[in-house]
A and B are shown apart, each in its own frame.
Chain A
Amino acid sequence: MSTKIDIYTKRRRGRIVNGMFTAACFLATISCVLVLLVLIWNIILQGKSWLSWDFIESLPSRFPEKAGIKTALWGSIWLISLTALFSVPLGVGAAVYLEEYAPRSRWRKMIQLNIANLAGVPSIVYGILGLGLFVRALAFERSVLSGALTLTLVVLPIIILASQEALRAVPDSIRRSAYALGATRWQTVWYQVLPASLPGIMTGVILSLSRALGEAAPLLVVGAMAYVPFVPEKLSDEFTALPIQIFNWTSRPQEEFHHLAAAGILVLLVVLVSMNAVAVFVRHKYGKKIRW
C-alpha cells in the first residue's frame, strides 16, 4: 500500500520538476530574444534624433552638434574594399587547394587544424601582428593599407572555412563526369565546381566582410586615428573607421557624444543588416537553382 502512494507522489513530483525545468529553459530562450529587442530599441531611441543627412556628410568635430561620420564612413569603405580585394582570392584559393588538390595527408590535416585554431585567435593579436609586420617591418606606417592587410588576416580563416564547406557540398559525380570528358583538374574546378559552389562561397565572403566592418580592436592597434579631418585618397593615407569613431564618442563622458555614438551605431547596423540580407538573398535565390 505504502509503496503505491510512494509511486504516486514520486510521479507528481516528477511532473512538477519537469514543468519547472521546461519553464526555466523557455525563460532563458525568451530572455535572449528580449535582450536583443531591448538593445536595438534603446539604441534607436538614443540615436534617431541625431541621425540626419548632415551627420553622414559632416567631418568629425569637437562640437557634437557639428560632428559627423564622413571620414569614418569613407575609411570603412576603403578598408572593406581593400580587405575584400586581398582576402577573397587568397581565401578561396586556399580552400580550393585544400579541397580539390591537396592529397589527404598529414600536411593537409596540419593546415586544416591550423586554420581552425586561427579562427579562434583574438582579433587584437592580429592587430599586434599587423603592427609588427605591416606598420614597422614593411614600413607601411599607420595607413589604410596596413589596416586592410590586418583585417585580411582576421577574416582569412573564416573565408577559407566557409568556402571549403561550399566546395564540399558539390557532389563528386560532377567532378568525375568532367574528368570523363577529358577536362583537366583546373578546368573541372573553374568551369564546374566553382560555379556550383559560388552561392555558398559568396555567403561566406559577405558574412566575413561584415565581421571585418565591425572590427575595431586590430585597427586601433595598427594605429587608426580618432580624428582624421579628411577622406583617404591613396593607400598610404591615415584613416579612421566607423567602429573607431563610435568607440571614440562612447569613451567621452559628455551625454551628447553618446547620442552621436548611438547614431553612428545605427548607420553601422543598417549597413551590416543590409549585407546580411544580401547574403540571405544570394543563398536563397541561387542556392535553389542547382539541383543534382
Chain B
Amino acid sequence: MWNSLRPVYEGLVHFSLFICASISVLVTVGIVIILLYESVKFFYDVPVLEFLTGTQWTPLLKPQHFGILPLLCGTMLVAGGSALVAVPIGLGTAIYLSEYASPRFRDIVKPLLEILAGIPSVVYGFMAIVFVSPIIRQIFPSAGVFNAASACVVVGIMILPMIISLSEDILQSVPISLRAAASALGANKFEVTVRVVLPAAMSGIIASFLLAISRAIGETMAVTLAAGATPKLTLNPLESVQTMTAYIVQVSLGDTPAGTIEYRTIFAVGLALFVTTMTMNVIAQYILSRVGERYE
C-alpha cells in the first residue's frame, strides 16, 4: 500500500517545495503590483511631470504641492554624505585587513565589525540625536538639533561593515600570483597594493560601494530621527531635511485614512525608492557576477 502511494507522496513534497520557492517571485510581483496600483491612482490626480520636477513637497499642508525633488535631494544629501564618511574609512580598513593585518588581528577585528553590522538602525538614530548632533552643534553653532550631517555620520557608520566585508572579499580574491609578480619586479608593498591589487579589484569594490549607498538610500529609522522632517532643496548638511523613507514614516505615524491622496503619496514615494535602490542593486549584482570570471 505504502509503496504504491510513495510516488504520490514524493510528488506532493516536490510540489510544496516548488510553491515555497515561487513565493519569492510572488513577493516581487506583489511589491510591483501594489506600488503600481496605488501610484497609478495617484498619478491620475498628480501629473507625472509635476511629481518629478516640482520643487515643493507639502502633501500634508494646504496648499498641497507634490514635487518629489526636495525628498530626492534630502535622500541624496544623506546618501552622498554617508558615502563620504564610509568609503575612505571602509576601503582603508578593507585594505588593511586584507593586505597588512596578521591573521590573529583579523580574527579579532572581523567579529567586532560583525557586531557593528548587527546593531539595529533605530539605535543609530538614538546615537545621532544624543551624541553626534550635540557635537556638530558645538562645532557649527548654526546647525539645528535635526541636521543632515548627524544623519550622514551615523548612516556612514552603519554601512561601514558592509563596505569592509564585501571589499575585503574582493581584495582577497585577487590571485596571489599578481602580487608576487609585482614584488618580483621590485615594487614595495604600497606599490603592489595601490598599483596592482586595487586596480585589479576596482570593479568589485565599486559594486560594494553601490550596494552600500543603496542601503543608505533605503535606511529609515536613523534618518527619520536625525535629519528631521523638513523637505527642502538644499545641499547644506547643517540644515534639517527629509528623505523619502522619513516621509513614509511621517505619514505612517499620522492617521491618514486609506484612499486619500495623502495615503497614496507613500506608494508613489515608495515606488521611487524601490526603482532607485533596485537599479543600483541590479547594476552591482551584474558587476559582481562578472568579477570572478576574470581570472579563470
Of chain B, the residue at the smallest CB distance from A37 is B112
Q: Which residues of B contact A17 (CB under 8 A)?
A: 190
| Known contacts A117-B282, A251-B225, A160 near B24 by CB under 8 Å | yes
Q: Which residues of B contact A15 (CB under 8 A)?
A: 188
Query: How distant is B277 from chain A, measured CB to nearest CB, in Å?
Result: 6
A212-242: which have CB < 8 Å to B? 213-217, 220-221, 223, 226
Q: Mark B1-44, 1 if CB is under 8 A from A, else 0.
A: 00000100110011011111111110110110011011000000
Q: Are B220 and A123 in contact (CB under 8 A)?
A: yes
Residue A243 interfacial (CB < 8 Å): yes
Judge whether A61 is part of the interface by a CB distance below 8 angstroms: no
Stretch of B49-57, B60-68, B120-128 on the interface side: B120-128
Measured between beta carbons, the chain B residues less than 8 angstroms from A274 are none
The yes or no answer to B130 lying at the interface (CB within 8 A) is yes
Counting chain A residues whose Cβ lies within 8 A of the other chain, the interface size class is 35 or more
Q: How far is the CA of A161 from the CA of B23 in the complex (A)?
A: 14
Using Cβ atoms and an 8 Å threshold, which residues of chain B touch A39? 119, 127, 157
Q: Are B118's CB and A32's CB within 8 A?
A: no
Stretch of A63-71, A77-85, A167-175, A257-265 with 4 or more beta carbons under 8 angstroms from chain B? A257-265
Contacts of B215 in A (CB 8 A): 120, 122
Please report the C-alpha to C-alpha distance between residue A171 and residue B280 in the assembled complex, in whole angstroms.
35
A215, B119: Cα distance in complex, Å: 10
- A29 to B96 alpha-carbon distance, docked (Å): 7
Asked whether B150 is an interface residue with its Cβ less than 8 Å from the other chain, the reply is no
A177 contacts the other chain (CB 8 A)? no
**How many B residues face the partner with a CB closer than 8 A?**
87
A265 touches B20 (CB 8 A): no
B18, B88, B126: most-surrounded residue (chain A CB, <10 A) = B126
Minimum Cβ distance to chain B for residue A265 (Å): 5
Contacts of B211 in A (CB 8 A): 120
Chain B positions within 8 Å of A, measured between CB atoms, are 6, 9-10, 13-14, 16-25, 27-28, 30-31, 34-35, 37-38, 88-93, 95-97, 99-101, 109, 112-113, 115-116, 118-123, 125-127, 129-131, 157, 160, 164, 188-191, 193-194, 211, 214-215, 217-221, 224-225, 245, 248-249, 252-253, 258, 266-267, 270, 273-274, 277-278, 281-282, 285
